[in-house]
Amino acid sequence: MKERVIYHKLLTPEEALGALEKSLSIQTLGVEKVSLDRAFGRVLAEDVYASIDVPHFDRSTVDGYALRAEDTFGASELSPVELRVVGSVSPGRRAEIRVGRGEAVEISTGAFLPAGANAVAMVEFTKRIGEKVMLYRPTVPGENVLSAGGDIAAGELVLRRCTKLGEREVGVLAALGVREVQVFRKPRVAVISTGDELVPPGEPLSIGKIYDINSYSIYSSLLKLGAEPHLLGIVKDDMDEMRRKVREAEAQYDMVIVSGGTSAGPTDMIYKVFAEMGPPGVIVHGLKVKPGKPTVLAVSRSGKALVGLPGYPSSALMIFSLIVKPIVLKMLCQEEREQRLKARLAVRAEGARGRRGLYPVSLIDTGKGVVAYPLSAESGAIKVLAQADGFLQVPETTEYLPEGEEVEVTLFSHEYSPAELYIVGSHDVALDRLVSLSGIRAKTINVGSLEGMRSAVRGEADVAGLHIVDEESGEYNVPILEKYGAKGVVLVRGYLREQGLLVPRGNPMEIKGIEDLLRLRIVNRNKGSGTRFLLDSKLKELARKRGASLEELTSSIEGYSYEVRTHTAVAAAVSQGKADVGVAIRAAAEIYGLDFVSLGWERYDFLVPREKLEKGAVKRFLSHLRSERFREELGRLGGYRADPLMGEIVREF
How many CB atoms lie under 10 A from the CB of residue 496?
Answer: 18
d(CA 200, CA 205): 9
Phi-psi label, residue 501: left if phi above 0, alpha if psi -120 to 50, beta otherwise = beta
594, 569 contact by CB (below 8 A):
no
DSSP string, 153-216: -TT-EEE-TT-B--HHHHHHHHHTT--EEEEEPPPEEEEEEE-TTEE-TTS---TT-EE--HHH
- pLDDT tens across 426-472, in order? 888 899 999 999 999 999 988 889 999 999 999 999 999 999 888 78
Mean pLDDT of 569-597: 92
- Mean pLDDT for all residues in the chain: 91
Do 588 and 530 touch, CB atoms closer than 8 A? no
The predicted structure's pLDDT at residue 414:
65
Rounded-to-integer distance, Cα 632 and Cα 624, Å: 12
Tell how many helices (H) and how many strands (E) occur in the chain. 17, 38
DSSP code per residue over 517-549: GGGSBEEEEPTTSHHHHHHHHHHHHHHHHHT--
Q: How far apart are CA 451 and CA 459, in angstroms?
A: 12
Distance CA 89, CA 66 (A): 9
Q: Cβ of 411: how many Cβ atoms within 10 Å? A: 18
CA angle 491, 495, 496 (to 5 degrees): 120
Convert the pLDDT of each residue in 416-439 to its tens digit. Answer: 778 999 999 988 889 999 999 999
pLDDT digits (tens, 9 = 90+) for 205-229: 888 889 999 999 999 999 999 999 9
- Residues 578-589, mean pLDDT to the nearest whole number: 92
- Predicted local confidence at residue 93, as pLDDT: 85
Instruction: Please say if the pLDDT value at position 571 is more than 90.
Output: yes
Domains of the chain, first to last: 13-28+186-323 (3.40.980.10), 31-54+151-184 (3.90.105.10), 59-146 (2.170.190.11), 340-418 (2.40.340.10), 425-652 (3.40.190.290)
**pLDDT tens digits, residue range 146-204?**
998 888 888 899 999 999 999 999 999 999 999 999 999 999 999 999 999 999 999 99
How far out from the chain centre does Cα 181 lie? 33
| Structure letter (DSSP) for residue 382 | S
- Say whether 400 sits in a helix, a strand or coil: strand
DSSP for 15-58, please give it. Answer: HHHHHHHHH-------EEEEEGGG-TT-BBSS-EE-SS-BSSS-
How far is 349 from 392, CA to CA, in rounded Å?
10
